[in-house]
Amino acid sequence: MYKRIPAHIGVIPDGNRRWAVENGYDKHDGYAHGVQPGFALYELMLEHGIKEATFYGFTRDNNKRAMVQREAFTQACIESVRTLSGRDANLLVIGNTDSSAFPEELLPYANRRVCFGKGLIKLNFLVNYDWEWDLRHALEHGAIASAEISRIDLLIRWGGCRRLSGFLPVQSVYADIYIVEHYWPDFDKQHFLAALDWYQDCDVTLGG
Give the SS3 label for residue 134. Answer: helix
Stretch that binds its own copies, among 22-30, 31-39, 160-168, 184-192 (CB under 8 A): 160-168
Number of residues that bind its own copies (CB under 8 A): 32
CB of 62 to its own copies, least distance (A): 5
Examine residue 96 and tell whether it contacts its own copies (CB under 8 A).
Answer: no
Examine residue 169 and tell whether it contacts its own copies (CB under 8 A).
Answer: yes
CB of 61 to its own copies, least distance (A): 3
Q: Alpha-carbon distance 187 to 193, whole Å?
A: 12
Q: x/- contact string, 54-83, with its own copies (CB under 8 A)?
A: -----xxxx-xx------------------
Strand pairing class (52-59; 122-129): parallel
Strand pairing class (122-129; 154-158): unpaired
Give the nearer residue to its own copies in terms of CB position, either 62 or 96: 62
Give the nearer residue to its own copies in terms of CB position, either 98 or 203: 203
Q: Alpha-carbon distance 201 to 156, whole Å?
A: 15
Under 8 Å between Cβ of 37 and 185 = yes
Under 8 Å between Cβ of 145 and 137 = yes
16 sits in which H/E element:
helix 16-22
Examine residue 7 and tell whether it contacts its own copies (CB under 8 A).
Answer: no
Query: Which residues are near its own copies by CB under 8 A?
Result: 59-62, 64-65, 131, 135, 138-139, 142, 161-166, 169-170, 172-179, 202-203, 206-208
